[in-house]
């Protein structure tokens, strides 16, 4: 029996076992194991888990996932200088097409992908290739047709979930360590309301984990516990994008727009596209830092873009690798401080219409100093 059949069998058994929580846990563990196998490369080139071969570029990657003809390629063509073929028929796009969104000095790679169908995660169409590519992104845009039923959202979430992508979720607060001897030490520091100790132990047994330390510090579900054991889950931010709002009523539009993590747009009428890009920027949590040479004003037109949580070391690497080895210290001017009685001492900067104010005194910092959005940095070397 192939893996797909085995999965189907377990799913059927699960449907019959709804009430027996303990048995359900074991079945879920089995199911997760088979699904993981499904995604393992088969050894042949272009194996199951391989995505499209598109080089990453820019400061971040955003992947477009959706059913056929929801307008993914139209969006790419509108927001970037790349043209991706669009048409009224399904499966117009057959491969991954990268474009670049330029915003706030950042270069964000937007990846147009083929439409996926139900069953994509189990190998239907190019589904597995598409979802594997999605895993390489920093943000997923789930694109939908606002004129169609909201069932599409649940189906897409299911497909991504099946390949281990967890959308807009934090990694569960569970510590899990394998050991070679000593049995199982299970430490639960909160009251579990969605699963219980017996189920947790049965899942450990079904994974043949007889020696390990487990500390559960959050009210997790059975599925979340299995995710921790499998360990390869990817926790990714996601925006739900409803396109074609030119074709729905105001009432429908209002309802969609109020949903969490959701943006409504019309590619064809160019409605709300700027806002979508703002939201993409915010979700990515990019930080831009301006560099400044001694005695000169910072160059506001050429920021270095870094991830949230980046340090001075990241800034050095962004300029030139050698700066890390020869690093002595950096000076940081924090921007946008609330202005005091007088502006004197703040250095003002005007550059092609942009204007910013920075604190008069720089802070002397080392490589591990965290940088904030819009900081000005001078690096001093040996």
Ligand X SMILES: Nc1nc2c(ncn2[C@@H]2O[C@H](COP(=O)(O)OP(=O)(O)OP(=O)(O)O)[C@@H](O)[C@H]2O)c(=O)[nH]1
Alpha helices in the chain (DSSP H): 3-16, 21-39, 72-79, 127-135, 151-162, 197-206, 222-230, 250-257, 273-284, 312-319, 322-325
Tell me whether residue 135 or residue 244 sits nearer to ligand X (CB atom). Answer: 244
Tell me whether residue 68 or residue 105 sits nearer to K ion (CB atom). Answer: 68
Tell me whether residue 265 or residue 376 sits nearer to Mg ion (CB atom). Answer: 265
Which element (helix H / strand E) includes 378? strand 376-381
Tokens coding 76: 């790419």
**Contact flag: residue 25 with ligand X (CB under 6 A):** no
Tell me whether residue 71 or residue 314 sits nearer to ligand X (CB atom). Answer: 71
Q: What DSSP string runs through 38-74?
A: HHS--SSTT-TT--------SSEEEEEEESTTSSHHH
**Contact flag: residue 202 with K ion (CB under 5 A):** no
**Tokens 């474009």 correspond to what residue?**
99
- Choosing among Mg ion, K ion, ligand X, none, which partner's interface includes residue 291 (Cβ < 5 to 8 Å by kind)? none
Burial 272-283 (b: 16+ CB within 10 A, else e): bbeebbebbbeb
Residues at the interface with Mg ion (CB under 5 A): 72-73, 92-93
Query: Is-contact 27 13, C-beta < 8 A?
Result: yes
Q: Which of 109, 111, 67 is nearest to 92 (CA)?
A: 67
Nearest distance in Å: CB 50, Mg ion? 21
- Choosing among Mg ion, K ion, ligand X, none, which partner's interface includes residue 246 (Cβ < 5 to 8 Å by kind)? ligand X
Q: Measured at CB, which residue is nearest to ligand X? A: 115
**Contact flag: residue 95 with K ion (CB under 5 A):** no
Tell me whether residue 28 or residue 72 sits nearer to Mg ion (CB atom). Answer: 72
- Choosing among Mg ion, ligand X, K ion, none, which partner's interface includes residue 166 (Cβ < 5 to 8 Å by kind)? none
Tokens coding 22: 């303990």
Q: Which region, judged by CB under 6 A, interacts with ligand X, from 5-13, 30-38, 241-249, 275-283?
A: 241-249
Q: What is the spatial distance between Cα 358 and Cα 19, in angstroms, rounded to a whole number? A: 62
CA torsion, ordered 148, 150, 154, 160, to nearest 10 deg: 50
Write the CA distances from 354 to 344, 361, 369, integer angstroms: 19, 21, 27
Nearest distance in Å: CB 64, ligand X? 8
**Contact flag: residue 69 with K ion (CB under 5 A):** yes
**Per-residue binder mask for ligand X (CB under 6 A), 49-88, x = binder:** -----------------x-xxxxxxx-----------xxx
**Contact flag: residue 272 with K ion (CB under 5 A):** no
- Choosing among Mg ion, K ion, ligand X, none, which partner's interface includes residue 109 (Cβ < 5 to 8 Å by kind)? none
Query: How many residues in the shown chain lie near ligand X by CB under 6 A?
Result: 24
Task: Provide φ and ψ at 14, rounded to 5°.
Answer: -60, -40
Nearest distance in Å: CB 169, Mg ion? 28
Residues that bind K ion (CB under 5 A): 69, 87, 92
Q: Which residues bind ligand X (CB under 6 A)?
A: 66, 68-74, 86-88, 90-93, 114-115, 243-244, 246-247, 266-268
């Amino acid at each position: 029996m192939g893996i797909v059949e085995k999965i189907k069998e377990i799913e059927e058994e699960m449907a019959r076992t709804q009430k027996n929580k303990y048995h359900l846990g074991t079945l879920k563990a089995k199911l997760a194991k088979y699904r993981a196998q499904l995604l393992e490369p088969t050894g042949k080139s272009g194996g199951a888990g391989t995505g499209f071969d598109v080089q990453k570029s820019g400061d971040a990657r955003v992947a477009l996932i959706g059913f056929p003809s929801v307008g993914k390629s139209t969006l790419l063509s509108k927001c970037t200088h790349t043209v991706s073929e669009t048409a009224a028929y399904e499966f117009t796009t057959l491969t991954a097409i990268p474009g670049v969104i330029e915003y706030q000095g950042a270069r964000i790679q937007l990846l147009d992908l083929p439409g996926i169908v139900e069953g994509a995660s189990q190998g239907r169409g190019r589904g597995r290739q598409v979802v594997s590519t999605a895993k390489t992104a920093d943000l997923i845009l789930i694109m939908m047709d606002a004129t169609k039923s909201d069932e599409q959202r649940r189906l897409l979430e299911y497909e991504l979930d099946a390949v281990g992508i967890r959308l807009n979720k934090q990694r569960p607060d569970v510590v899990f360590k394998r050991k070679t001897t000593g049995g199982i030490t299970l430490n639960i520091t909160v009251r579990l309301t969605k699963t219980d100790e017996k189920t947790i132990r049965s899942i450990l047994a079904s994974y043949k984990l007889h020696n390990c330390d487990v500390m559960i510090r959050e009210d997790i579900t059975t599925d979340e516990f299995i995710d921790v054991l499998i360990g390869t889950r990817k926790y990714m931010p996601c925006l739900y994008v409803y396109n074609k709002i030119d074709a729905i009523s105001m009432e429908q539009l209002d309802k969609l727009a109020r949903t969490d993590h959701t943006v409504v747009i019309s590619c064809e009428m160019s409605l709300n596209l700027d806002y979508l890009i703002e939201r993409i920027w915010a979700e990515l949590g990019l930080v831009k830092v301006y560099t400044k040479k001694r005695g000169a004003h910072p160059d506001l037109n050429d920021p270095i873009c870094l991830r949230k949580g980046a340090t001075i070391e990241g800034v050095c690497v962004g300029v030139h690798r050698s700066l890390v080895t020869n690093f002595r210290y950096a000076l940081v001017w924090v921007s946008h401080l609330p202005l005091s009685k007088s502006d004197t001492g703040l250095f003002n900067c005007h550059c092609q219409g942009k204007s910013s104010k920075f604190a008069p005194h720089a802070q002397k910092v080392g490589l591990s100093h965290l940088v904030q959005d819009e900081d000005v940095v001078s690096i001093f070397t040996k």
